[in-house]
Amino acid sequence: MRKKKLIFAGLLAVVAAAGLAGCSNDNTKQTTEKTTKASTEAEKTTAKKKTTGKKAAATTAESKKPVVKDCTIYAPDDNVETLIQGKVKIQDVTAQKLLKEMIKMGTLEEGTKINSFQIKKQTAYIDFNKTIEKTLRKMGSSGEVLTVQAVTKTICENLGTNAMKFTVEGKVLETGHNIYDEPQRPGEE
């Protein structure tokens, strides 16, 4: 009987060892599968981040590309009866670049400078040096009105504002014909 008990205990030990070994392999296999899945997920996430990073870099690079815009520059005609327009291409449009084009076209005199510029609530606020005031004072009232209108239309249309407020050296623009204490709108005289 003792022999039977030993054989039975031995068989039981073998079965138990085989059962545990089987569980151990399953756990190892499952752990390996989980690790592989986790690695694959991590690789996919990294790949997505790299792709997203490339897209973001491409978008940033695209946004850094200079933007060339067709701009309309206005000036009074030779008879000071109406506005004429000239078309130019400007890279990265600013008030300073528009001023240069207005000087080239004869809207404003050489030496006219912008001291400061900002846009608030769809209104452009431009502070000029005294040259613009001197230029406007030399003109008759028709020339003055057309020149102010040319500057206003040029700035508003090309920079997307609804109105423009002139100042000279921080003060209201006064020409002798008009006092420009209110924002000017394109099309108004």
Q: Do residues 40 and 111 make contact, with C-beta atoms less than 8 angstroms apart?
A: no
Q: Is the pLDDT of residue 24 over 50?
A: no
Residue 67 confidence (pLDDT): 84
pTM over 0.85: no
Instruction: Express each pLDDT in 118-172 by its tens digit.
Output: 999 999 999 999 999 999 999 989 999 999 999 999 999 999 999 999 999 999 9
Torsional class of 24: left (φ above 0), alpha (ψ -120 to 50), beta (otherwise) = alpha
The percent of residues in the chain predicted with pLDDT above 90, rounded, is 57
Closest by CA position to 184, among listed 154, 170, 168, 164:
164
The percent of residues in the chain predicted with pLDDT above 70, rounded, is 66
d(CA 43, CA 39): 6
d(CA 39, CA 54): 22
d(CA 157, CA 90): 14
